[in-house]
Amino acid sequence: MNIANFLKFILIILLFLIHNFKNLQAVENKILFKIDNEIITTIDIYEEIKFLKAFNPEVNNLSDKELFEISKNSILRDKIKKIEISNYVDEVKVIDEFLLKLIKKKYSKIGLNSINNFENYLKNYNLNIDLIKEKFAIELIWNDLILQKFSSKIIIDKDKIKKEILKNPKKTQKEILLSEIVFNVSKKSEYKKKYEKILTDIKQTGFKNAALIHSISNTSSVGGSIGWIKEDNLNKTIKEEISNLEKGQYSNPILTSSGFLIIKIEDKKEYKLEFNLNDKINELIQFKRNEQLNQFSNIYFNKVKKNLIFDDL
């Protein structure tokens, strides 16, 4: 597969799609490339652009080329996960209760407060709710697959956690609003070029858009947003790397088991704390558990991706 020619071809298609964004009839549905038995068409690209614009308004400030990179990477992530989960489930479908819970989490992040408002919001972008539900279902099934495969490999020392907490029981709690970019390189020689490109995109388009373009983490679809994290829950390495950062600043790449991690401080807050040892232990256990599952997810995703066959058509 000639990657350079392939990307040029897709970019030409993308430019056509963007300039005809409001006219679906102008978009001829053609198969662009194939990943195993999953195809990606011009309509897929078109729909992904609309999805990105709806959930990440910042992308409106991006160039056509940057928007192409984001939409391409986003579709690839979904298709790769869909291919893998199809080995374990007959159809991409989850219980409504779990799906609605995730949908609520998603629309809350864009300032909406009900499913009706969410559906009306999607209509503004001419988005199909069924397609959105499938994307979210893929995410849920993938997360469940990772849990089943790796839950037995999670290592958490409860006694150690307890001792660390008791060493310094705090009366106040600091929380940090974090965003991330997780990236990988296949060769050490590619690291400098990749990192410099990420830095350039952060400076030119902002951290969120750079995360949309480059990050391989599950948070990439929301501009790298992790959310509010209690400072005590962060592992020692990350805590040390960001300890001197102020609001709006971001770290140097931190090497983790799933790739290189760049962390940005979006905001900080501190409040009085009613200390409860058991609650704190359980909270920290859950945080460390999720952290390890996210690492396993990134590692497994990269492994699955390497075993797939990509063809341009």
CATH (domain of 186): 3.10.50.40
Backbone phi, psi, residue 240, to 5°: -70, -40
What is the pLDDT at residue 1?
45
What is the pLDDT at residue 76?
87
272-283: per-residue pLDDT in tens? 888 888 998 999
223-263: per-residue pLDDT in tens? 899 999 999 889 889 999 999 999 999 999 999 888 899 99
Which residues neighbour 64 within 8 Å (Cβ) at sequence distance 6 or greater? 11, 14, 15, 18
**Mean per-residue pLDDT for 29-49?**
82
**Which region among 75-79, 169-173, 302-306 has the lowest average model confidence (pLDDT)?**
169-173
d(CA 12, CA 20): 13
Residues 264 and 198 in one domain: yes
Q: What is the CA radius of gyration of the chain?
A: 21
d(CA 95, CA 130): 14
Residue 176 domain boundaries: 159-274
CATH (domain of 119): 1.10.4030.10
User: Could you give the percent of the chain with pLDDT greater than 70?
Assistant: 90
Mean pLDDT of the chain: 86
- Compute how many other C-beta atoms are within 10 angstroms of the C-beta atom of residue 110: 13
Phi-psi region of 187 (alpha: psi -120 to 50; beta: other; left: phi over 0): beta
**Which region among 70-74, 114-118, 189-193, 287-291 has the lowest average model confidence (pLDDT)?**
70-74
How far CA 167 is from CA of 72, 115, 289, in Å, comes to: 48, 45, 22
- Single out the residue of 249, 272, 255 nearest to residue 191, CA to CA: 255
- Compute how many other C-beta atoms are within 10 angstroms of the C-beta atom of residue 154: 15
DSSP one-letter string for 257-276 = TTEEEEEEEEEEEEEE----
Structure tokens at 192: 């400098």
Q: Does any domain span residue 297?
A: no
- Structural domain total, the chain: 2
Say which residue the tokens 């001829």 belong to.
28
Residues 73 and 199 in one domain: no
What is the pLDDT at residue 62?
81
Select from 97, 118, 151 the last residue of a domain.
Answer: 151
Q: Does any domain span residue 36?
A: yes
142-173: per-residue pLDDT in tens? 999 999 999 999 999 999 999 988 888 888 88
d(CA 6, CA 307): 20
d(CA 227, CA 75): 24
The angle subtended at Cα 7 by Cα 5 and Cα 13, nearest 5°, is: 105
Instruction: Read off the pTM.
Output: 0.80
The more confidently predicted of residues 308 and 16 is 308
The answer on pLDDT for 73 being more than 80 is yes
The answer on pLDDT for 15 being more than 70 is no
Q: Does any domain span residue 229?
A: yes
The answer on pLDDT for 89 being more than 90 is yes
What is the pLDDT at residue 13?
56
**Mean per-residue pLDDT for 83-97?**
92
50-66: per-residue pLDDT in tens? 888 888 888 887 877 77
98-108: per-residue pLDDT in tens? 888 988 888 88
Residues 144 and 219 in one domain: no
DSSP one-letter string for 159-170 = HHHHHHHHHS--
Q: Does any domain span residue 284?
A: no
The more confidently predicted of residues 140 and 57 is 140
What is the pLDDT at residue 252?
96
List own/partner pairs for 108-111 with CB under 8 A and 24 or more apart: 109/222, 109/225, 110/54, 110/55
- Single out the residue of 229, 199, 198 nearest to residue 215, CA to CA: 198
